Amino acid sequence: MSAAAPARLAVLISGRGSNLQAFIDAIAGGTLNAQISVVISNNPGAAGLCRAATAGIPTRCIDHRDFASREAFDRALAAELANWDVQLVILAGFMRILTPAFVQAFSGRLVNVHPSLLPKYPGLNTHQRALDAGDTEAGVTVHFVTLELDGGPPIIQSRVPILPGDTAHTLADRVIAREHIIYPLAAQWFISGRLQLTDNGARLDGEALPATGFDYLDGGC
């Protein structure tokens, strides 16, 4: 029996592309059966575009400042994605709030990573908010994207302890290391047919995932 053909991914970025690199590394290491068809940024100065080009991945820049409205930008973004016939769209530090028309067009194959244990701390400044609240742990969530900002069904979470003397910066460093593990893992679940978004939430291997997603400790499944 021949191996399945690599799935086609699009990765959307706005900055340095550290999660993009995690996907590149997972593909090179054989743990993610995919190819990155295109990397798209809304920011022409995004360092991740150079990272992608170095890896031989096609890149496109669609500068949101060139559009009169959020809807017009999203239409251009969707049109560009249509050219690549991708199976999964990865938001990797893509700093845009997407409009309903875009989200609905890619429903069920649009995922994001958020640096908190959702539903705690949607939005920005998640690490400082966890510190200010006196939390004992923080973490990261990979989730399907729906119309609710950072509110789509969680797929997988990974927790890290908050240590004495932690700052938002030191905490972020430990959290992003977990992002780089669980985000490609969630993508592999999807492209292998194990993970789906249904009307009743996310399902893995035919079973409903918990409200906070799969709890990743020091191993996957």
* pLDDT tens sequence across 157-212: 999 999 999 999 999 999 999 999 999 999 999 999 999 999 999 999 999 999 99
Give per-residue pLDDT as tens, 85-128: 999 999 999 999 999 999 999 999 999 999 999 999 999 999 99
On the CB side of 14, CA atoms within 13 Å amount to: 10
Give per-residue pLDDT as tens, 25-73: 999 999 999 999 999 999 999 999 999 999 999 999 999 999 999 999 9
Contact yes or no for 80/73 (Cβ under 8 A): no
CA distance linking residue 52 with residue 41, whole number of Å = 11
Confidence band, pLDDT 50/70/90 cuts, at residue 217: confident
Residue 220 predicted with pLDDT over 70: no
Q: What is the CATH number of domain 114-141+148-221?
A: 3.40.50.170
114 tagged catalytic: yes
Residue 207 phi, psi (nearest 5)? -110, 140
What pLDDT is attached to residue 1?
39
HEC-encoded secondary structure of the chain: CCCCCCEEEEEEECCCCHHHHHHHHHHHCCCCCEEEEEEEECCCCCHHHHHHHHCCCCEEECCHHHCCCHHHHHHHHHHHHHCCCCCEEEECCCCCCCCHHHHHHCCCCEEEEECCCCCCCCCCCHHHHHHHCCCCEEEEEEEECCCCCCCCCEEEEEEEECCCCCCHHHHHHHHHHHHHHHHHHHHHHHHCCCEEEECCEEEECCEECCCCCEEECCCCC
Q: Which listed residue (114, 127, 143, 169) is catalytic?
A: 114
Confidence band, pLDDT 50/70/90 cuts, at residue 218: low
Residue 221 predicted with pLDDT over 80: no
CA distance linking residue 183 with residue 192, whole number of Å = 14
Sequence ranges of the chain with CATH classification 3.40.50.170: 1-106, 114-141+148-221
Residue 219 predicted with pLDDT over 90: no
| CATH match for 1-106 among 3.40.50.720, 3.40.50.170, 3.40.605.10, 3.20.19.10 | 3.40.50.170
What pLDDT is attached to residue 127?
98
| Spacing of C-alpha 196 from chain mean position | 15
Confidence band, pLDDT 50/70/90 cuts, at residue 4: confident
